[in-house]
Structure formats: structure tokens, C-alpha cells
Structure 1
Amino acid sequence: MKILFFTWLGSYIDDDLEYFFNKMGHDCRRIWNDYGDIPNRYEDDTFLEYFEGQVLSECFDVCFTTNYWPLVAEGCHRHGLPYISWSYDSPPNLPKTDTMEYDTNYIFFFSRDDVDDYKKKGIEHVYHMPLAVNTDRWAKVRANNLAFSSDISLVGKTYQSTLPTLKTRMSDYQKGYIEAIVASQQANDQAYIIRDAVTDKLIESINGNYATYPDNALTISAPQLIYSIATFVTHIDRLSLLKLLSTKFDTHLYTYDLPEEEYKLIPNVKIHGQVSYEEEMPQIFKLSKINLCPTFRGNCSGLPLRQLDVMGCGGFLLSSFRTELYEEFTDGVDTAMYYGLEDALEKADFYMTHDDIRLSIASKGYEKVKKYYTYEDRLSRMLDYINTD
């Protein structure tokens, strides 16, 4: 197949995608978006003219992007070109469903919950495809920087939320309702409460309250409030987990979004800046005895890339519960999951004192993702959808 691989913003997996498309015998032409910033991802005639020029420059069989881009879908639909998108974000940042109904679309989400959500909205061309990991790439990275050694590490964002700002103009009742949602979700690792709790009536009530302010500066949609609450709960999850574990273990956080005033909330955690994905991150995964993955609350079911990268490096993963991790892996055999803060502490304590069990789990997790979570498998299956239509 001749594949137009359009790189919109660039992602961690783009290099692997290009490499494996070509390795599998396809003619993959990767074109970077040199058009520039596109404030409106749904309407931009100048971009469409530019993109359609790329589509028509050669006789392509399919267009491929990481994440779904409405303007790319529009350009492909105009010329009858099949468009495959594979999202590595959950939930997807798609305020509207415009263009998603096109029959030229093959929209893949790594989280099964996102597929179910869009099908409920009447979108037919959405499919489930878990992410992949290139274990050969990580095997080439030597873990020789011993400064990355630790008992426990977490690589990732702390998820700064807009919720405190949004609440400043809510009524006391509205604030109390939101706080109840937060508390309920914090207490439940196995069900996603937020989405159903944010009703149309609540949004109408909040926007009505916002409208009473003279500057009329705030309005909010249901997806925006849901995301804001999910980031807020995740923020609490991560800081609480780090604070608890750091009272007993050498705990490190590698991030770029923690304000200095919040350092005092986790005084025993050794806080570092952002690390490179290609060289430093895999060394951390290999040199940490336990790699934490408290999954973003908005991702209701799927295995995020971070979990696969940890296991693909041969690292030991301690993750919060997620449905698809529970279904595909076995807790205590090829991965480790915790159910709440106290359970996380108990399991960290157990695995820190049982090296043989911890190393066995890490090894089995590595072998599983190496065998079953390959790019060749994922790309072949996605392309098969086009071949069978």
C-alpha cells in the first residue's frame, strides 16, 4: 500500500509507525504539517487547499494520522481517500463530532470506553485498537545513568486543573455538588462516575450563574467540565500517592507541570524536570524498582502508552486499576495493580521486599507485550479494515 502518513503535531509513536509501515513492505511517505498553527481544527479552507495538494501529489491508497483530525478527514473525504486515525489520547480532545460520520473514516481508539461512547452518539466508523510498543527500540537503550536509580518513580504530568477557577463563580450548591463528584470518584477506582454525574441540567445551571457576572467571561460545556473534574481528581491521586509512598521509600517524580508552591505538598519526593522520551525515560523505567502509573481518570478503560513503555523496557509496573489491564494481564503474575492508596502502599512494601517476585512479574510483563503488543499486529489489523470494505 502507498500510505500518506501525515504528521500533524508529532507524537511519541510517529517514528515507530513510519519504521514499521516500511518494514512491513508498504510505501510510507511521511509528510510533516508545515502549514503552521491551525486554531480551528474543523474549518480552515486555506489548510484544506494545502492538504488536498498533498493528497493529490501522488496516488495514495490511504492516509494515516495519530489522533483524529477533522480537517484531514474532510480533505480525505472530498477525494474518496480512506483515512485511518489511531488515538493515543483518552479521552480524545474532540469538542464536536463533525466529519466523524464520513464513510471514508476508520477511527481507532485505544480505550474501548471511547469507542462505546462514540457509538452511543451514533458514530459508526469507530473501532477499538490497543496501543503497541517497540521493545527492540527500548532494548537498545543502555541503563548506564545510575542517577536514575530509585525505589519508586513516576514519569508524567501531575495534571493541573482548571476546576478551582471554574468554581469561583459557581453557587454554593453547585460547588457542593462538584465536590461530591470529586469525593465519590476519588473513592472509586473501578468505575467512572464523573461523566454521568455531569448532567445537562447542571451545565445549564452553572452557565446561568456565570451569566450573572457583568463581564460574562465564562461559559462551559459538559465535556469541558468533565475533563476539568477528571484532571483535578488525577492531580489529587498523584500527589496523594507520591506523598504516601515517599514516607517510606526513595521516591522520584519526573515532571514539567508542578508549580513550585506545590513542592511543599510532597516534601519527601525528589522532584526532577522533564526527561527525554527516547533516552532518559527508558533508563528510569529500567533502573527504578517500581514504576508508578496512576492512570488519568478520564481514561476509563484503556492501557495508556506509559504502561506499555514501562513493560516494554522490562520495568516493573504498579498501576491503578483499569478494565483492559485487568482483562489482558494478571495481577501478581505479569503486572501489579492497586486499589486505593493503602493497597498501593501495601503492594509497594511487598514488592520492595520480594525482589524475586518483582523481577519475575517484570519479566513476564515484558514477554507478553513483546509478543502480543506489536506494531506489525496493530497496523496489519487496521489496514485489514480497508481491505475488507
Structure 2
Amino acid sequence: MHTKKATKSRFNAAGYSAGYVQGLRDGACEALAGHVSPPSAVKHDVRVLYIPQGFESIDQGIIEALGSTVRELYVADPARMAEQASLLRPDWMFVLNGMHVFPEDHLVQVDAVRALGIRTMIWFADDPYVTEDTVAIAPRYDVVLTHELSTIEVYRQLGCANVHYMPLAVHTGWFKPQRIEDKYRSDICFIGQAFWNRVETFDAISSYLKGKRVFIAGGMWDRLKNFDRLKSAIRMGWLPVDESIRYYNGARIVINLHRTTASGTDNKNTLNLPGRSINPRTYEIAACGTLQLTDLREDLPNFYKPGSEIETFTGPDELRVKLDYYLTHEEERRTIALRGLRRTLKDHSFISRIQQLADTLQW
């Protein structure tokens, strides 16, 4: 009986401590968000037809930002974009990515839209992982935007006259600090597909993760050599966006490990272009007010200051050391996360990015 009471007392103390830390974080995020002025949208006298890719949070972020930025906005299904363009006669047809859910006659439709005198633009969000496809798509558009530095020169060499580096951003109306239930809390969280470089990293730190409160979600995690050791922490399959946001909010640390760019079963990058730019997850985690540990991409310092607004690692050993450090240094962890949140709200919302796009295109 005495042992049971002692155990219950320890659990209660641990729960109180976790709740106290979470409460500090929630209050600090609310205070910061109240003092950061969101960017103001500037209206432009442009009519835009937007064609979504099916990346729910990215599409919705772009749609809402365009709605505040252009005079008229229409949204159409990829299967009917030429028909809708003919009826609406917008100034621009703006396509996100142009793959996966797009019909086989996608490029024929783009040609038909251009023949009407309507300018066309595509924003690639999967570079450089599917360059086998994008090199065929890019030349058929008037303007090519890409979030990946390594693909810019490739598109120019294909004859694309207007190629621009356009980083992605985050829908801050969705990804934001919020109070969550205990079931979403973890010490360490990772959400994403088990590409081979991620498998190697998590196999290498599996012993360290054992016994900690860990949440991993995504497909193909049964590739792990140490799957049995981590399986209780893994939720196999796709995780809805709203749940991802809750898990980001509930984590003390979120790991952000970019996928490998090597050509093979997981990629269609036969040009073997390197990954130089950060993924959308970088902005999304930061927007939730949670510390992330990310592998270093070349353009990261242009968006977040490592060691101040975000934290980085170069391999499993350094990842393990930094996980251990920030799990035991609450104030430093919270301070970096708050700085990352501030930077995101100021500079990396889709309102900010669509205004950057408007300036680039001289709307």
C-alpha cells in the first residue's frame, strides 16, 4: 500500500510539473502573439484563377492570402481549369505544383489557357524530389516559381524565361499555439514519411528514445530495424492536419529531418539535385511555438537564426546530445521556440509570401 501511494504521488508530481511547464509555454505564446502585429495585405488590381494541388494547409493558406491580396479570386478543380479560365478570363491562372491529382491532359489545358492570352504561373512545392516530372511541366508555363534553390538554374536552362525563387510559408490561422489535451503531449515528436535517411537516424537514436514519451507518425516506419523497440510510439499512416497541429503543440521538442534527395525508390530526382532549401514543416512547427531540432539546409539562416530562433543538428550523435540538453533546460527551450514563433508571425505567413509574389510579378 505504501508503495502504491508513493508511486501515485510521483505520478501526480510529474503531472503537475508537466502541466506547469505547459502552462508557462501557453501563456508566453499568447502574450507574444498579442504583441506581434500581423502583416497587412495590400490589394492589387488583378484577377486570379487558382488551381489547388490538394496540399490542404498550403492550398488554404494561399487561397486566404490571395483573397486578401487580389481584386478577384476564383478557385477551380484541376480537371476543369481550361474551361474555367475560358469562362472567367482572369489575368493569371496560378497553379500549385501541377502533379499527383492533376489530369493527364494537364499540359494541354495549360496550352489552351495560354492561347487565350491568359498568363500562367506554377509554384513547385515538391522540388527537387520529382524533377523527372517538373522538367516536362515547367516550360509550358509563362512563370515558374520554386521553393528550391537547386532547381532554379535547371528550369532556366530548359528555356523558361521567368523563373523565381519563392519560398513556401505557413497558414498561421491553422498552425498556431493552442492549449491541448494531455493525450497529445510528448517529449519528442516526429511527423512524416519514413524515408531511408530518417529510418537510419531513428534507428541510431532508438535506444535513447526508449522510455521517453515519444510520438512518431507517418507511413513506412516498419522499415526500422528497431521497429519493435519503438512501435508503441508509432502511429502508422497519414495524420490529419488538425491532429498534426495538436501534436506539435503538445511536444516539448519536434524533430524536423528533411527527406533524402537521392534518386531511387522514394524519389524521382534523376538529376540528383541537392536539397538546399527548407521544407514547409520548418515554418509549421515554428508557428506552433514549439522548439524544433532540424537538419541544416543551406538557406535556413535566411529564415531563422540557428541557435536563437531554431536549433539544428548534423547527425544522430548531435541530435541525441541536443535532445538531452533541451529536455533538461526548459527555459532555453521555451525562449528559442518563442523567438521562432515571433519570426514566423512577422515574416513567414502566406500573407507575407503572397505579397512577395505580387511584388515579384509587379501586380
Q: CA deviation at 1:380?
A: 2.2
1:351 matched residue in structure 2: 326
One of 98, 108, 111 as aligned partner of 2:136: 98
Q: CA deviation at 1:236?
A: 2.5
Residues 292, 311 of structure 2: 8 Å contact kept: yes
2:20 matched residue in structure 1: none
User: Judging changes above 3 Å, is the alpha-carbon distance between structure 1 residues 245 and 118 closer, same or farther for their aligned structure 2 residues?
Assistant: farther
SS in 1 for 2:155: helix
Q: CA deviation at 1:125?
A: 2.4
2:62 matched residue in structure 1: 17
Q: In structure 1, what is the Cα distance between the partners aligned to 2:55 and 2:342?
A: 29
User: Judging changes above 3 Å, is the alpha-carbon distance between structure 1 residues 283 and 98 closer, same or farther for their aligned structure 2 residues?
Assistant: closer
One of 191, 215, 230 as aligned partner of 1:268: 230
Asked whether 1:75 is paired with 2:95, we answer no
Using the size of structure 2 for normalisation, the TM-score is 0.74
Q: CA deviation at 1:274?
A: 4.1
Q: Residues 105-137 of structure 1, C-alpha deviation per residue, up to 9 Å, x if partnerless? A: 221111212223433555442211111112233
Asked whether 1:58 is paired with 2:95, we answer no
One of 139, 147, 150 as aligned partner of 1:113: 150
Q: CA deviation at 1:88?
A: 2.0
Q: Which runs of 5+ in 1 are unaligned?
A: 36-49, 160-231
Residues 192, 217 of structure 2: 8 Å contact kept: yes
SS in 2 for 1:116: helix
Q: CA deviation at 1:339?
A: 1.1
User: Judging changes above 3 Å, is the alpha-carbon distance between structure 1 residues 255 and 98 closer, same or farther for their aligned structure 2 residues?
Assistant: closer
- Show the 5 A alignment for 1:31-42: 31-33=76-78, 35=79
1:206 matched residue in structure 2: none
Residues 199, 224 of structure 2: 8 Å contact kept: no
Q: In structure 2, what is the Cα distance between the partners aligned to 1:7 and 1:333?
A: 35
1:213 matched residue in structure 2: none
Q: CA deviation at 1:383?
A: 2.9
SS in 2 for 1:279: helix
User: Judging changes above 3 Å, is the alpha-carbon distance between structure 1 residues 267 and 317 closer, same or farther for their aligned structure 2 residues?
Assistant: same
Asked whether 1:370 is paired with 2:334, we answer no
Q: CA deviation at 1:351?
A: 0.6
Q: In structure 1, what is the Cα distance between the partners aligned to 2:299 and 2:362?
A: 27
User: Judging changes above 3 Å, is the alpha-carbon distance between structure 1 residues 252 and 382 closer, same or farther for their aligned structure 2 residues?
Assistant: same
Greater Cα shift, 90-99 or 76-85:
90-99
Q: In structure 2, what is the Cα distance between the partners aligned to 1:99 and 1:284?
A: 36
The letter of the residue matching 1:249 is: K
Residues 245, 251 of structure 1: 8 Å contact kept: no
SS in 2 for 1:318: strand
Provide the aligned C-alpha RMSD in A: 2.5
Using the size of structure 1 for normalisation, the TM-score is 0.69
User: Judging changes above 3 Å, is the alpha-carbon distance between structure 1 residues 315 and 66 closer, same or farther for their aligned structure 2 residues?
Assistant: same
One of 51, 63, 72 as aligned partner of 1:6: 51
1:194 matched residue in structure 2: none
One of 310, 333, 340 as aligned partner of 2:315: 340
Asked whether 1:329 is paired with 2:359, we answer no
Question: % of aligned pairs identical?
Answer: 16
2:165 matched residue in structure 1: 128
The letter of the residue matching 2:67 is: N
